[in-house]
């Protein structure tokens, strides 16, 4: 039943994004970022849903395939841009990251231990950084990454890490590393490099 709840959660986020876009409350890019942020919240509830962490791998594995098919054939329009590029595979990388961090936690610890923080940083940090960087013009730093967007990434990651960690120097280290990974990763690829890089950092710490 927990797998069903997971699908309902994700499709509920996608459906709500599509509705808000259709009625004009969000533009197309806003709808995609709504999904980006909203789906990440699955990692908050998933430790409560699943007694067997290996079962939690099933939903994101499904979405690896579904997101790729959506990218190729425009199945879920709320997630897709009208003009395709390799950067638009970000939704596929997002799902792959969910699979990998869950498998790592299952293999190393047998329960959710390190996976939640990297995905929440990906969802909120990267998602809000893209929104702020687009809405508020500022000088570009690397590629399309801007000063305000990068600052947002750092501040939001600080907040997420502070809520979940008690050691302040580790909080600042996580925020700094996350910001640098996001800054120097090409568009879309950061959906993979950011959570995996943070997971490695947390494991080493």
Q: pLDDT tens digit string along 63-90?
A: 998 888 888 777 776 676 655 555 578 8
Would you call 146 helix, strand, or coil by DSSP? strand
| Alpha carbon distance 73, 65 (integer Å) | 12
Claim: this prediction has a pTM higher than 0.85:
yes
**Joined tokens for residue 46:** 């998933």
pLDDT in tens, 17-66: 888 888 888 888 788 889 999 999 999 989 888 889 999 999 999 999 88
Q: Estimate to the nearest angstrom the gap between the alpha carbon of 28 and the chain centroid.
A: 18
Between CA 104 and CA 31 the distance in angstroms is: 30
CA distances from 131 to 43, 125, 170, 172 (A): 22, 10, 26, 23
Type and span of the H or E element at 20: helix 2-22
The rounded distance, in Å, linking the Cα atoms of 106 and 115 is 10
> In this model, does residue 199 exceed pLDDT 90?
yes
Which residue is associated with the tokens 């940090």? 125
């Amino acid at each position: 039943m927990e797998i069903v709840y997971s699908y309902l959660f994700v499709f509920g986020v996608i459906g709500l994004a599509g509705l808000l876009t259709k009625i004009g409350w969000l533009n197309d890019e806003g709808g995609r970022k709504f999904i980006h942020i909203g789906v990440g919240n699955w990692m908050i509830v998933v430790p409560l849903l699943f007694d067997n962490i290996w079962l939690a791998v099933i939903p994101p594995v499904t979405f690896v395939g579904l997101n790729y098919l959506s990218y190729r054939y425009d199945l879920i329009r709320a997630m897709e841009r009208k003009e395709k590029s390799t950067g638009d595979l970000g939704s596929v990388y997002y799902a792959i990251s969910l699979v990998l961090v869950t498998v790592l936690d299952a293999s190393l610890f047998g329960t959710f231990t390190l996976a939640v923080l990297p995905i929440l940083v990906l969802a909120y940090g990267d998602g809000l950084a893209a929104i702020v960087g687009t809405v508020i013009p500022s000088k570009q730093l690397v590629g399309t990454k801007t000063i305000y967007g990068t600052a947002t990434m750092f501040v939001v990651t600080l907040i997420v890490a502070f809520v979940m960690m008690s050691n302040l120097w580790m909080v600042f280290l996580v925020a700094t590393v996350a910001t640098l990974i996001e800054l120097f990763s090409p568009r879309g690829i950061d959906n993979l490099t950011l959570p995996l890089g943070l997971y490695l950092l947390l494991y080493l710490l």
